[in-house]
Amino acid sequence: MALDPVQLAISTVTLSAPLALAAIAGYMSERSGVINIALEGKMLTAAFACFAASTYLGAVGGILVALVVGILFSLLHWYSTQKLKIDPIISGMALNLIAVGATNFGKELLPPDPIADGKTLPLQLFYVLAFAVPFAMMVWSAKTRGGLRLRAVGSDPDKARLVGVNPLSVRFSALIVTGVLTGLAGSLLVTETRNFTDGMTAGRGYIALAALILGGWRPVPALLATILFGFASAVQIQLKGTELAGANIPSGVWSMLPYLVTLIALAGFVGKQRTPGGLGKV
Amino acid sequence: MKKISPQVWIVVAAGIAVILGALVLAKANPAEAIRTLGTGSFGSMRALSGTLKETTPLLVAGCAVYLALQAGLFNIGVEGQLVMGACTASAVGVKMPTPAGFFVGCAAAMIVGGLWALPAGWIKAYRGGHEVITTIMLNNIAIYLTDALVIGPLKDPAAAYPTTESLSKATRLASAVKANDLQINFALLVGVGIAVGMAIWLKKTKPGYELRATGANATAAKFAGVDTKRVTLSAMVVSGAIGGLAGALMVFAHEFRFYQGFSPGYGFDALGVALLAGSSSFGLLPSALFFGALAKGGTALAALSIPKGITTLTLGVVVLAFAAVRYGRKAKGGGDGA
Amino acid sequence: MSYAVELIDISKRYGTVQALDSVSLKVKQGSIHAVVGENGAGKTTLMKALYGAMHPDSGTIDLFGKRHTFAGSAQAIEAGVGMVSQHYGIIGELSCLENLIVGSEGSGVLNLKGAEERANELAKKMGFEFDWKAEASTLSPAGAQKLEILKLLWRNSQIMILDEPTAMLSPADSDALFESLSNLAKEGATILVVTHRLPEVFGYCDEVTVLRGGKWIAAMPVAETDPESLAKAIVGGELVQRPPLSTETGAPALLTVSDLSVKGPKGNLQLKNCSFQIRKGELVGIAGVDGSGQRELFQALMGTTRPVSGSIRFVQGATEQDWTNLPTRERLKQGLRIIPEDRLAEAVIEEWSLIENATLGLQRIPPFDKLSGNAVEPEALKIADLFNTKRGSLNDAMSGLSGGNQQRFVAARALLYDPALVLAFQPARGLDLNSTARVYSKIRELCDTGTSALVVSFDLDELLEYCDRIVVLCSGEFSEPKPDEGRDRDAIGRLMVGAK
């Protein structure tokens, strides 16, 4: 079994990119204190929106609709956790179910053809964004009023309130950014395949969240963690169909690799000292 | 019962509007769709039998989710535990074509299901990694692993698609009721037994009390002398074992084999079953029946060319609306690392 | 003369509780005004109205003669009001500088360099020193309090509210704080101090307003009153008789702690080589400023944290038990009872009924080990009645009770079922003076029959009043006052800050 290093590097980049966008989407939400297991559903919904809109409106229309849908879905999350005060895990699960159901439903109502040539944005644009956004986010968090307030609310919403910072509005803005970034992540997936399939996010939202946790809720370390997962996926793709010690390994075994890496990484991640103090607090 | 704010009713109304709107979009008549759903699930003895068949794995898997939920854990991994259990049960059942095969198969499925949940429980208790992420990873691994097994070593060589051999008649679980078109398998009674037994255990025993205390306020439980890490770990493992049993019962009572794409998402639906059950596991009975009817009636909807996503969409809306009514909480601490 | 603050007829209702009933408060510019009253008198609620953190049902707020309506704290800050809450508003995960500026950053892109320069100027003026880049969680309570004062200056607050500012400070730090406040008042700042401690009122304040049960009782210049009549105004009647102190010595040791070292949540050693004994029947108080290792000591004694080194021995009947690594459950069976610090997080399950909460911590102990469901009800009734917990049905959720009533329930639960050793962390938290006296009387009664108790409080006066013996924790190190200084407030105060 031989691995092609160039191909491996290229696939690592392309496979980490959606994870990186989703991880930073998760950063905005969780650093503001909103537990976000709904990244998966937000990506899926945006992916579908991008697919459906690109077919009719072209590349720019497609991405714009995807962003708007991502933002709206994210704000539904804000409303359910902050206004209705539903347990964030339960509401996150519910949103994921709604996303799976609604996109399957929507897909059945559309013609099954892939997006035509010229109706998607260049992929490179997404890749550049995916690797630039974590660094931009690092600077923004440390050096701007918005970043400071985001961290203040995520650390302790009650104390933030005492200095006149309103957690509700900070989280509202944070979840809009989450919506934009999941919108980009979902659009990236559709732009790569030119098509929408049921459950095409395939757990990437959860892997991105795991990367965020492994990165200690910091943008750049989270990016590094997504690259680790991207690499595991890249290896997995290259190893598919190869023989190991003479035995023919079914491709499914290799498909487990990225999930296994995530699991092991979480098991090895000691402590949770970096968990934002206000996570889940209303 | 606390007061329900008008906001919550808006959510409930919006949820109903979304589902009706979706039906209209699919060019279906909502009234006809609801009628089809009703007759498809309860309209005849045959339909009722089908509903109860769907109810069985949902009830048992719902028990698994419910137990974990009482300990403060979201076991999203029942799907994986269920397929692992089902795969194990078929492998044992094929090798042991005797009545003993049923018992050995169930026991093996429970052990495998429990072991499959163990890493999630351990990482949660001793590493602080959230169980939602780990169980979802374990689900993906379980599905790929059982796929590989049923494509490879466990495949029935005579079959055209990835499936195990069928179980012999001797290993299968009989019907408890068989009158005309009405069939109820013993498996359903096992599920009812678990739900009832669990309700009593949680309310009346000290370990049950300590498990609920751990779920409601882990710090207070710790101060009250409860070894919360051990409770977390064992609740997860037992939950996984019940999840594995759910898979085994499906194999022995209805499917008689394991095949690729075995579970249509029972583990995820079970989450809805458990959340809807409310404050006692007796509530699992009507809740599982509701989801069973939705699943059975949902297949009838396909005849009206309504996409199957409608049932998942409904499930999500129901969980959200119900959670808004019941699980809306006061501001309090206790964020843990998701 | 004109007032800086005029609150007129402020009323606020929470559910069925009238938290404030037509309360008025007038404060002159450049003065320090004390607001006193028991817990639940409405002091904090009134301050929240002034700070825009609570919207009153009726009443008016005038600042420097100008009418204000605050939708939130942001507007109050804008109008020159600043508040330091009881538990401080310092966010541990942010740096000291970030804490100083958050909420009043000035510009979209932070000017951290400029901020640090101005921060240093303000600190210099007050005689403080700060490592601005350090994480604020590393601050001592006194350091956090100083940062809070600087936050007020940063925001140009003309009106400063301090809610029990010395609750977690040593006597020396408290004095230093009030010196700073006096200087600020001389420069024209208007300062409101909510406090329990009458010496602070008579030592530093110009005027005092008394609240009781949400009502205005009296307001006067401090010079025109005396501690005794002020205390009567606060309580509104005679005080419950305090329990007599025990003088018995020579009883055998019940608990022996040797060279105990325990790590805190951050992994650093918070309790260092601590050794002491508690005799049978003794009521021992642990004095010390917050964060001196009290929590770690309690955790080790309860068995929820394993000590790094050292040992804990407990005498049960005639046999000595090694408690060093014994699970909490076994200690509870041997007679340990706990009144935890944070009742909501550690002592009750809010969404459960009082009946279910009655069992918590006693579930393996007679008679609870044989009871389940509604059979617990008679026991729950005993617990609720011991300190007159005001409640609805025993089947109602714990969350429906006020904090003080929850505390009564938690204390009664720990004291009713044959305790051998009671660990109490701020047992009077949220209780009024009379309830506090009742809880300590019950503890004293138990001690007379051979129970021992170890009490942590940040209020040295409370310990001096009720404990047989006081020991001191300072930065994780243990010390005992000299035999002849065992009840000497100043001597113990010096030990609390590490001065010998």
Q: Which residue has the tokens 């939602």?
A: B132
Residue of A nearest to B141 (CA): A256
User: Is there a domain that residue B186 lies in?
Assistant: yes
Has residue C244 been placed in a domain?
no
Q: Which residue of C94, C108, C109 is in closest CB contact with A151?
A: C94
Q: Which residue has the higher pLDDT, B329 or A223?
A: A223
pTM above 0.90, yes or no: no
Q: Nearest by CB to A105, from B151, B309, B323: name it.
A: B309
- Beta carbons of B206 and C373 less than 8 Å apart: no
- Contacting chains of A (3 CB pairs or more, <8 Å) are B, C
Within a domain: B275: yes
Q: For tokens 């009750």, what's the residue?
A: C348
Q: Does C246 fall in a domain? A: no
Q: How many domains, chain C?
A: 2
**pLDDT tens digits, one per residue of B200-256:** 999 999 999 999 999 999 999 999 999 999 999 999 999 999 999 999 999 999 999
Tell me, yes or no, whether C129 and C261 share the same domain: no
**Chain segment A83-107, per-residue pLDDT in tens:** 888 888 889 989 999 999 999 988 8
User: C174 versus A178: which is more confidently predicted?
Assistant: A178
Taking only the tens place, the pLDDT of each residue in C13-38 is 877 678 899 999 999 999 999 999 87
- In Å, how far is A51's CA from the nearest CA of chain B? 17
The gap from C-alpha B70 to its chain's centroid, in whole angstroms, comes to: 15
DSSP C66-127: EEE--SSHHHHHHTTEEEE-TT----TTSBHHHHHHTT---SSB--HHHHHHHHHHHHHHHT
DSSP reduced 3-state for C396: coil
Residues β-bridged to residue C256: C277, C313
Name, in order, each residue with C-beta under 8 angstroms of A86's C-beta and a sequence gap of 6 or more.
A80, B320, B323, B324, B327, B328, B329
**Residue B329's closest chain A neighbor by CA?**
A85
Query: CB pairs under 8 A, 24+ apart, for C407-412?
Result: C407/C343, C407/C431, C408/C435, C408/C439, C409/C348, C409/C354, C409/C357, C409/C383, C409/C384, C410/C339, C410/C340, C410/C343, C410/C347, C410/C348, C411/C339, C411/C387, C411/C439, C411/C442, C412/C382, C412/C383, C412/C384, C412/C386, C412/C387
Give phi and psi for C493, each to the nearest 5.
Answer: -55, -40
Domain hosting B249: range is 59-280
Mean pLDDT of A222-235: 92
Pairwise pLDDT comparison (B118 vs B3), residue with the higher score: B118
Provide the pLDDT confidence category of residue B329 given band limits of 50, 70 and 90.
very low
CB atoms within 10 A of CB B329: 15
Give me the residues paired with residue C82 across strands: C160
Give the model's pLDDT for residue B246: 97
Q: Cα(C375)–Cα(B2) distance, rounded to whole angstroms?
A: 26
Is the same domain home to C214 and C269?
A: no
Residues of C in contact with B203 (CB under 8 A): 372-373
Cα–Cα distance, C468 to B108 (Å, whole number) = 62
Residue B73, in any domain of the structure: yes
Closest residue in C to A273 (Cα) is C266
Top residue of B87, B130, B138 to mutate, by most chain A CBs within 10 Å, is B130
Residues of B in contact with A270 (CB under 8 A): 127
Query: Does residue B290 sit within a domain?
Result: no
Taking contacts as CB-CB distances below 8 angstroms, the residues of chain C near A85 are none
Residue C240: inside a domain, yes or no?
no
> Which amino acid is residue C403, in one-letter code?
G
Mean pLDDT, chain B, integer: 88
Tokens of C93: 């995960």
Q: List b or e across A106-119, with b for residues whose CB sees 16 or more CB atoms inside 10 angstroms.
A: bbbeeeeeebeeeb
Give phi and psi for C56, each to the nearest 5. Answer: -70, 155
Structure tokens at C276: 């002491």
Task: Decide if B112 is inside a domain.
Answer: yes
Is B245 within the bounds of a domain? Answer: yes
- Average of pLDDT values for A214-226? 92
Q: How far apart are the CA of A190 and the nearest CA of chain C, in angstroms? A: 36
Asked if A148 and C94 come within 8 Å (Cβ–Cβ), the reply is yes
**pLDDT surpassing 90 at residue A116:** no
Whether residues C60 and C203 fall in one domain: yes
Task: Specify the pLDDT at position B333.
Answer: 33
Higher pLDDT, A112 or A44: A44
* pLDDT value at residue A47: 96
Distance CA B133, CA B38 (A): 36
Structure-token match 């999203």, residue found: B76
Distance CA B159, CA C478 (A): 77
Are A277 and C93 within 8 A, CB to CB?
Answer: yes
Question: Cα(C182)–Cα(C32) distance, rounded to whole angstroms?
Answer: 7
Report the complex ipTM. Answer: 0.88
Preceding amide of A5 cis, omega within 30? no
Cβ distance B134 to A100 less than 8 Å, yes or no, reads no
At residue A106's C-alpha, the angle toward residues A102 and A107, to 5°, is 120
DSSP 8-class letter at C156: T
Residues 340-379 of C with CB under 8 A from B: 340, 344-352, 359-361, 363-364, 369, 372-373
Put simply, whether C268 touches A (Cβ < 8 Å) is no
3-state secondary structure chain B: CCCCCHHHHHHHHHHHHHHHHHHHHCCCCHHHHHHHHHHHHHCCHHHHHHHHHHHHHHHHHHHHHHHHHHCCCCCCCHHHHHHHHHHHHHHHHHHCCCHHHHHHHHHHHHHHHHHHHHHHHHHHHHHCCCHHHHHHHHHHHHHHHHHHHHHCCCCCCCCCCCECCCCCHHHCCCEEEEECCEEEEHHHHHHHHHHHHHHHHHHHCHHHHHHHHHHHCHHHHHHCCCCHHHHHHHHHHHHHHHHHHHHHHHHHHHHCCCECCCCCCHHHHHHHHHHHHCCCHHHHHHHHHHHHHHHHHHHHHHCCCCCCHHHHHHHHHHHHHHHHHHCCCCCCCCCCCC
At residue A270, does pLDDT exceed 70? no
8 A C-beta contact, residue C43 and residue C194? yes
Largest pairwise CA distance in chain B: 61
**C444 in Cβ contact with C247 (< 8 Å):** no
Q: A166 to chain C: which residues are within 8 Å by CB?
A: 72, 74
Q: Which amino acid is at B170?
A: A
The rounded distance, in Å, linking the Cα atoms of B150 and B263 is 14
In B, minimum Cα distance to C364 occurs at B206
Tell me, yes or no, if B3 comes closer than 8 A to chain C by beta carbon: no
Over residues A43-83, the pLDDT tens digits come to: 999 999 999 999 889 899 999 999 999 999 999 999 999 98
Q: Say whether A104 and B308 touch across the interface (CB within 8 A).
A: yes
Considering the domain architecture, whether residues C395 and C480 belong to the same structural domain is answered as: yes
Q: What is the mean pLDDT of each run of 10 residues along chain C (500 residues)?
A: 88 82 94 87 91 92 93 90 87 94 89 93 88 89 88 92 84 87 93 88 94 91 90 74 62 93 86 92 90 91 94 91 95 95 89 94 92 88 91 87 88 95 90 85 92 91 88 90 82 78
In this prediction, residue C365 carries a pLDDT of 92
Determine which of B205, B209, B222, B223 to mutate to test the interface with C (most C C-beta atoms within 10 Å).
Answer: B223
Note whether B223 contacts C: Cβ–Cβ < 8 A: yes
Domain-located, residue C353: yes
Helix/strand/coil for A114: coil
> Given this model, what pLDDT does residue B128 score?
80
CB contact under 8 A, A155 and C92: yes
Residues C205 and C266 in one domain: no
A to C CB pairs, distance under 8 Å: 73
Do C98 and C139 fall into the same domain? yes
What pLDDT was estimated at residue C169?
A: 79
Same domain flag for C312 and C355: yes
Q: Which of C188, C206, C235 is the last residue of a domain?
A: C235
Asked if B138's CB is within 8 angstroms of A263's CB, the reply is yes
Domains of chain A: 5-272 (1.10.3470.10)
Per-position DSSP letters for A179-213, written without gaps between them: HHHHHHHHHHHHHHHSS--TTTTTTHHHHHHHHHH
Q: Select from B233, B253, B284, B285 the least CA-distant residue to B106.
A: B253
* pLDDT value at residue C322: 95
Number of structural domains chain B divides into: 1
Any A CB within 8 A of C73 CB: yes
Class of residue C247 by CB neighbours under 10 A (exposed 0-12, middle 13-18, buried 19+): exposed
What number is the average pLDDT over the span A245-255? Answer: 70
Which 8-state DSSP code applies to residue A257? H
Task: Check if the beta carbon of residue B313 is closer than 8 Å to that of residue A48.
Answer: no
Q: Which residues of C touch B72 (CB under 8 A)?
A: none
- The residue segments making up the domain with residue C436 are 253-496
CA distance A152 to chain C (A): 7
Q: Where residue C280 sits, what CATH number does that domain have?
A: 3.40.50.300
* pLDDT score of B337: 32
Angle at B37 (CA atoms; ends B31, B38), nearest 5 degrees: 90
Domain boundary among C169, C202, C235: C235
Task: Evaluate whether A280 touches B330 at the Cβ level (below 8 Å).
Answer: no
Backbone φ and ψ for C287, nearest 5 degrees, come out as: -95, 160
